[in-house]
């Protein structure tokens, strides 16, 4: 109990809420680097996954990319990016984006593939062709799984961004890495609280966004348990 008291005091100290090592600065760093990484990954991964799912080919590639992604050690990839590109945000964003691509490709592929063929037939019968069918019928129906992929990736990026503190990155990982380095268990524990809270907040806010993006017409159709993609955890 005494220990948890020191953690509460750590949070209560006014100096914790200002300056370059303050919680607001670290939060902005963490969110910024994560958002950039997810955006870079989404720009690459979603078109690829959606295109593969639409044409229905290279399915093995789309599925296996997640298996390969799981096998990559996130910490090793961060260090490798640092060796190749040096200090700064660029290597961190590229490494995190690389780790975020596989779940987005796999989930959007599966989402597009699981659109009912009868629905596609009906769309064609109603005069939808090519891109109109893709954008106005298939993608809206696949939104739950596409967003499941984005959410999975985003939560993993937030988690893995913590490790970026080992290659001189900012964010909440700083408290954990510095806490370990100086045996300052109060700082370590407080950093863990912040990182865990941010990861859960990411999961919840993206679930909320997903709910907004799912077309009203299919909300009730969604069977429970189908909106989650395959497990994916890199950090």
Partner 1 sequence: MTATLFLDAVNPWIDWTWLSDHTSLLLDRLQEHAVLTVIAVAVGTVISLPLGVAAQRWNALRNPVLTISGILYTIPSLALFAFLVPYTGVYSVTTAEIPLVSYTVLIIVRNVVVGLDAVPPDVKDAADGMGYRPLARLLRVEIPLALPAIFAGLRIASVTTIGLVTITFVIGLGGLGQLIYTYGMLENNFRTAILAGIALTVALAFAADGILLVAQRLALPWSRTA
Rule CB under 8 A: say whether 71 interacts with partner 1: yes
Single residue of 59, 76, 208, 215 touching partner 1 by CB under 8 A: 76
103-127: burial string, b at 16+ Cβ within 10 Å, e else:
bbbbbbbbbbbebeeeebeebeeee
Beta strands in 66-205 (DSSP E): none
The stretch near partner 1 (CB under 8 A) out of 38-46, 49-57, 117-125, 160-168 is 160-168
Rule CB under 8 A: say whether 159 interacts with partner 1: yes
Single residue of 40, 51, 70, 113 touching partner 1 by CB under 8 A: 70
Distance CA(66)–CA(89), nearest Å, equals 25
Query: Nearest distance from residue 203's CB to partner 1, in Å?
Result: 5
Single residue of 81, 173, 210, 214 touching partner 1 by CB under 8 A: 173
Distance CA(1)–CA(146), nearest Å, equals 44
Rule CB under 8 A: say whether 77 interacts with partner 1: yes
For tokens 């590229």, name the residue: 94
Query: Nearest distance from residue 127's CB to partner 1, in Å?
Result: 38
- Are 49 and 105 in contact, with CB atoms under 8 Å apart? yes
Single residue of 25, 61, 166, 178 touching partner 1 by CB under 8 A: 166
Q: Hey, which residues between 138 and 157 contact partner 1 (CB under 8 A)?
A: 155
Encoded tokens for 133: 């069918």
Rule CB under 8 A: say whether 72 interacts with partner 1: yes
- Are 235 and 159 in contact, with CB atoms under 8 Å apart? yes
Distance CA(223)–CA(18), nearest Å, equals 46
For tokens 């490494």, name the residue: 95
Query: Nearest distance from residue 19's CB to partner 1, in Å?
Result: 22
Distance CA(24)–CA(7), nearest Å, equals 17
- Residue in 157, 140, 139, 147 with CA at minimum distance from that of residue 41: 157
Q: Hey, which residues between 184 and 203 contact partner 1 (CB under 8 A)?
A: 185, 188-189, 191-193, 195-196, 199-200, 203
Single residue of 52, 94, 148, 235 touching partner 1 by CB under 8 A: 235
The stretch near partner 1 (CB under 8 A) out of 90-98, 104-112, 125-133, 223-231 is 223-231
Q: How many other C-beta atoms lie within 10 A of the C-beta of residue 55?
A: 9
> Binding residues for partner 1, per CB under 8 A?
3, 67, 70-77, 79-80, 82-83, 155, 158-160, 162-163, 166, 173, 176, 179-180, 185, 188-189, 191-193, 195-196, 199-200, 203, 225, 230-235
């Amino acid at each position: 109990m005494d220990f948890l008291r020191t953690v509460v005091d750590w949070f209560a100290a006014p100096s914790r809420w200002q300056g370059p090592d303050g919680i607001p600065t670290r939060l902005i760093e963490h969110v910024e680097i994560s958002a950039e990484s997810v955006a870079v990954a989404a720009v690459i991964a979603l078109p690829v996954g959606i295109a593969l799912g639409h044409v229905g080919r290279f399915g093995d590639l789309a599925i296996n990319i997640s298996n390969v992604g799981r096998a990559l050690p996130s910490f090793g990839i961060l260090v490798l990016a640092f060796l190749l590109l040096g200090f700064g945000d660029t290597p961190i964003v590229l490494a995190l984006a690389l780790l975020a691509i596989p779940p987005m490709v796999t989930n959007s592929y599966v989402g597009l593939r699981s659109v009912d063929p009868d629905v596609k037939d009906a769309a064609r019968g109603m005069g939808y062709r090519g891109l109109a069918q893709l954008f106005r019928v298939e993608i809206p129906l696949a939104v739950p799984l596409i967003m499941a992929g984005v959410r999975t990736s985003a939560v993993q990026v937030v988690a893995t961004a913590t490790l970026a503190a080992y290659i001189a990155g900012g964010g909440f990982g700083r408290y954990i890495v510095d806490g370990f380095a100086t045996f300052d268990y109060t700082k370590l524990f407080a950093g863990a609280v912040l990182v865990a809270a941010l990861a859960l907040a990411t999961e919840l806010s993206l679930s909320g966004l997903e709910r907004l993006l799912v077309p009203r017409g299919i909300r009730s159709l969604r069977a429970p348990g189908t909106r989650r993609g395959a497990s994916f955890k890199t950090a």
